[in-house]
Structure formats: structure tokens, C-alpha cells
Chain A
């Protein structure tokens, strides 16, 4: 990758004065200003305008801290589930040919296209008191899923379902089968081949997929508000906290959390870039 871009740069320099770079970059930045950069900046400016001490006070309110903690926990759980699932699905879909291969691909990718509120509603229909699973679950185990942490995790899993898969699948498709053949002739079982040969080649895709899933989960709002009940100190995630505080007119509290979420996603995407450069040899 780096060789490609460096040769391209060399060609540009060779031509002397190519205006493509400064003009193109300028256009991108100008477009991004009102669309992305300024809104983001205003979050930071408003969040921090009363000074760091005030910022910290707002942030350290128990409800605020709880919401961040809950968001991190539920997002991590959803990430673990979806990476494992994405790996399995990608392996099966790229290794085996079967009828309905494409249909399965489409179904896996569907959650990205469904409005998150609808996703939440759909989960309510299934897991709620009168839903197909929820009814029997409550009847036989006395366990209620809706309006608990489990419900938030379910919503996160649904919404971010295809993200890890979407990153791992192409990596596996590009994986040279002769590595597996080589491992097999050397005496490795299918499982050993997977652990020692396939998995290490996918570590870049796995980490990227996980970070994408996590970043998307942390910010999830629409489905969460449908299934969580938005109970402070119980099922209120960070985005729900922001929404609630904003409705109550407490813009400062909302903003403080927004700053934290922005920092988290900044960190996550920095890690993604770093991972791409380091792990994908």
C-alpha cells in the first residue's frame, strides 16, 4: 500500500506543478467544515467553556458515570459476540459453497439498512412479555429480558451485526488457500490450521472489525431507547443520558458526556488506522 502511494507521489513530483493535491484537499476540508468539523468542535467548546473543574463536576455525577460505564460494558459484550459470529460466518461463507450462500449474505448485511428504532421495536416484539421468546422465557425461568442490560446488549448486537463480518469476510476471501493446504500436509488438523495459520492472518481484520463494532455500539441510540426503558442508574446508556439531560434542559451535562463519547470514538478510529498499518503485513 505504501509503495503504491509513494510511486504515485513520485510521479506527481516529477510533473512539477500538480494543483490536484492542494485544491482537492482544500475542497474536502471546506466541505467538512460545516458538516463535520464545526459541529464536533462546538461539542468541545460548549462542553469545556465553564472550565475543566466544572466539566469534571458535571461528568462525575453518579448518573453520568454510570451511563458511561454501562455503555462501555454493553458495547464490549456486543463486540465480543459479533466478532466471534462474524468470524464464524465469514469462514463458513467463504470456505463452502452452498445453495443460499448469497441469500445468507444479504440477511447478515440487512441490519445496517433497517432504522434502529425499528430494530428496537422488532426486538420488543420477540423478547417482550408477549413475544415468542420472551413469553416462554418469563414463564419458565422467570427471567425478563426487556428493560435490562441484556436488552441493551441484544439491541447493540442486532444493530452492529454485519460490521465485523463485513471486515473479516473480504480478508478471508483474499486468504490464500495454499497456506491451509501447506499446514494440512505438514500434519496440522483443521483446528490447528485455523488457530496457527488462518487466525494470525486475520488479526488486522479482527481488530478493525472489533473497533468498528465497538464504536458503533457506544453511540447507539434508537434501538436502545426502545428496549431499555431509559431507567437512570439501571438501563441508561451514555447516549440516552445525553438525550434525557438535553430534554431536561441540562445542556452542560449532555455536552460533557458528548465530549467523552467523541474522545472515545476518536481513540477507537486512531486505533483502527494504527492497526491497519501495523498488523496487516
Chain B
């Protein structure tokens, strides 16, 4: 189906997929499957993280990302598949022998131990004597900038500090890989963003391979050298942040990672005929489809260009006329909702019927699935050049789009 088309279509991705699970990988997972009840929560998942690299598993809740982390950590057992850490197969050994560092969602700092005791716990378990633990603890406290908090209890420090302690605690025993389980979601945005940068810098410096689990696309973009997008227990796409954003290979990837407009159509005579009675010329990367096959056309709001109703549009692709139904100004950009116009039987341009703005109340970021409603973004410079208000008629063009064979 759609997935198979995709794989043959984008040879660079396949090469990438083949290159990854090689011996250099710090962590690799292959064909991982896990069931709770009859439905698999994780279905044949494979990926790898190379030395010094960070991979983000991004997906909505229930996509299986937390299960993946728990399987790697050894807190659950897989039904099928393999997990290798630094060339050693670990899926059949106990969690405590895997030497992974996990930063839990709510950090799970031991409440009866001080910050220093928490950090030293892994070493204590490894029978490192107290006087040998001390320099390690001090170095880590220095690293996370909390030397003055060493004797505090977890209940006495802030969320951001707790997260840093959780990282130091995991680093103390030199784990082979760090696993972050939604570790930023409990923090408020003012703490989260700078802390995220700090941790990215720290990981780059220490060159420790890391796997992040998140549902936050901004976080994924910022933290991941690569992003794997997980949906209903399957990986939809793996790639660099710019790959997955600019070259999404499924509708899910396109809409989950940022805003996207999706329109449906049919491939006929070398052109895509949209259901909204328009046609688009093919672009690079259009799958070799048979006549009459269904196609999804995906484009980002910033790929839309708007011209005055009478003027011509300079973009390569023309979508026709539309009417502005909503304008909102966010500061750096202007967000617009455009409803494409259609021809009535008498030949006049009218608003389409039977499509009564079913997405006009949805939030901007959700994009639009309607064949007639388009989300567009303009820079303030474009907005200044052609001022638009609700009710104005415009010419709609596309700078680029992506066509996917649809099921």
C-alpha cells in the first residue's frame, strides 16, 4: 500500500535504513513487537542510534513510544524482536544488567535521599566505596551547576533542578545509552526551553548516545539528530529533522510534524486532478502511478502564496481563486484561512456548497483536511506588500507541494 510505494520511491531513505543498524550503532532495535491483549502496541519497529547521536521517538499518546523505551530499559519484555546495546544483545537480560540510564517523566528521584545520595546511588549499587564515589558526585554536581544543592532533598528543589539531578544520577555510572521518557513535559515552558538547549549541549559534549521519547514536535526538532515518527505502533518515517519536515512520506508525518494542508485527487494523463475540480502539474518525487490512482497532495502553510484577485501569481503551481475567511496576526507571521472558490452551474465563481467550513474552527496548527479550505502563512513583508482582510478575493498558488500515492 502507501508504505510500500514510499520505500521504493525514496531510495535515499532505504539506503539510510540499511546503513543504520550496523556495528557502530550504540543502540539498535530490530523488529520489536509488543502486545498487550490481542492488539499489538508495537509492531515490527526497527531503528538504531549511533555513537554520540541522539534519536527522538516522536508520536502521539498511545503510539507505543513509551513501551519502546520500557522494552529497551528492560522494564517490559518484548514479544518479538531484538535489542542490541553496543553490539551486545540485551533483550534477554535483566534491566539491572543492561547499563542504561533512564530519565523518567517525573524524574523518580528517591525522596529519602539527598541530591548527592541520589547521584551516587548507581555507584553504591556497583560497590564503589563512599570515598571513591565522592569525586564523581562532585564532578557531576559541578557539571549540572548544582554544587550548592547537594544536601537538599528532592522535595526541596525545583522541577528543572530535579531533571538535572536525574540526568546526573544516570550519568554517574557511565551508562551505554541515555533514555529520556517525556522528560521535559512536566516543566513549564520558561524552564523547558533553556533546559533543553543545555541538555543538547551537554550530550554533544559528552558524546553519549541518547533516545528521547516525546509527543512535542518542537522538542523533537531541537533535540534530535534524527527523528523517528511513530504512529499506532509503527515507525512511519526516520530522518533528520529537516528531512521529515520537508519531505514527509506519509500524511500522518506531514500533519503531525507541523501544520499541513492535505488535498485529495486522482492521477490522470500525467496530472493530478484534485477533487476540488483543479489540476496540478507533477513535481519531482511523484510516485509512478497508474491512471486513475488516488493521490494525496500535501503542502505547508508557508508553501501557499497569495496574489490579488486580478493579478497573476508567480509561483509554479496555480490552485485558482479563493476568498479569505480568517486573518490573524501573530507578530512574526500572518496566518490566513482561504476558502477556494468553485464554479457554479451558471459559470460564476462561488463558495463551494456542502463543505461548510468544517475546519474553520479548528486551531491553525492542525492544518486542514478539507479540499476547499487552505491554511496559509505569510511573512510580515508579504503581508505588507498585499494587505488582505476577511472577505477579500485572492489568487492562490503553491511554491511547492508533495504528492503521495494514497491507499
Using CB atoms and an 8 Å cutoff, list the residues of chain A in contact with chain B.
176, 178-179, 181-189, 192, 196-197, 200-201, 203, 281
Does A179 lie within 8 Å of B125, measured CB to CB?
Answer: no
With a CB–CB cut-off of 8 A, which chain A residues contact B173? 186-187
A197 to B102, CA, bound (A): 17
A150 to B286, CA, bound (A): 87
Complex A-B, nearest 3 residue pairs according to Cβ-Cβ distance, in ascending order: A200-B112, A182-B108, A178-B108
Name the contact of B75 in the complex, choosing from A185, A200, A203 (C-beta under 8 A): A185
A281 to B73, CA, bound (A): 29
Does B110 lie within 8 Å of A197, measured CB to CB?
Answer: yes
Name the contact of B108 in the complex, choosing from A179, A187, A192 (C-beta under 8 A): A179
Name the contact of B121 in the complex, choosing from A178, A186, A189, A281 (C-beta under 8 A): A186
Does B112 lie within 8 Å of A185, measured CB to CB?
Answer: no
Contact with A along B44-82 (1 / 0, CB 8 A): 000000000000000000000000000001110000000
Does A181 lie within 8 Å of B75, measured CB to CB?
Answer: yes
Chain B: interface residue count, which band? 20 to 34
A187 to B113, CA, bound (A): 17
Contact with A along B95-108 (1 / 0, CB 8 A): 11111111011101
| B126 on the A face (CB < 8 A) | yes
List 20 extra interface pairs beyond A178-B108, A186-B173, CB under 8 A.
A176-B106, A178-B105, A178-B106, A179-B110, A181-B104, A182-B110, A183-B110, A183-B125, A185-B73, A185-B96, A185-B101, A185-B102, A186-B101, A186-B121, A186-B122, A187-B125, A192-B125, A196-B110, A196-B121, A196-B124
Does A188 lie within 8 Å of B96, measured CB to CB?
Answer: yes
With a CB–CB cut-off of 8 A, which chain B residues contact A192? 125
**Which of chain B's residues has its CB closest to A200's CB?**
B112
- Chain A binding surface, main DSSP class: helix
Does A184 lie within 8 Å of B112, measured CB to CB?
Answer: no
A184 to B122, CA, bound (A): 10
| B279 on the A face (CB < 8 A) | no
Name the contact of B99 in the complex, choosing from A182, A187, A196, A281 (C-beta under 8 A): A187
A176 to B106, CA, bound (A): 10
With a CB–CB cut-off of 8 A, which chain B residues contact A200? 110, 112-113
A188 to B113, CA, bound (A): 15
Name the contact of B104 in the complex, choosing from A178, A188, A201 (C-beta under 8 A): A178
**Which residues of chain B in 162-202 are interfacial with respect to chain A, using CB atoms and an 8 Å cutoff?**
169-170, 173
| B111 on the A face (CB < 8 A) | yes
A183 to B153, CA, bound (A): 17
Name the contact of A183 in the complex, choosing from B74, B105, B121 (C-beta under 8 A): B121
A225 to B78, CA, bound (A): 59
A201 to B110, CA, bound (A): 9
A189 to B96, CA, bound (A): 7
- 7 example contacts (A-B, Cβ-Cβ < 8 A) are as follows A178-B105, A182-B108, A183-B121, A184-B96, A185-B101, A196-B121, A200-B110
Report the minimal beta-carbon distance from B308 to chain A, rounded to whole angstroms: 58
Given the interface pairs A186-B121, A196-B121, the reply to whether A181 lies near B155 with Cβ below 8 Å is no
Does B125 lie within 8 Å of A188, measured CB to CB?
Answer: yes
With a CB–CB cut-off of 8 A, which chain B residues contact A181? 73, 75, 102, 104, 108
Report the minimal beta-carbon distance from A13 to chain B, rounded to whole angstroms: 27
**Which of chain B's residues has its CB closest to A201's CB?**
B112
Does A281 lie within 8 Å of B112, measured CB to CB?
Answer: yes
Report the minimal beta-carbon distance from B123 to chain A, rounded to whole angstroms: 9
Does B122 lie within 8 Å of A187, measured CB to CB?
Answer: yes
Report the minimal beta-carbon distance from A98 to chain B, rounded to whole angstroms: 19
Does B126 lie within 8 Å of A187, measured CB to CB?
Answer: yes
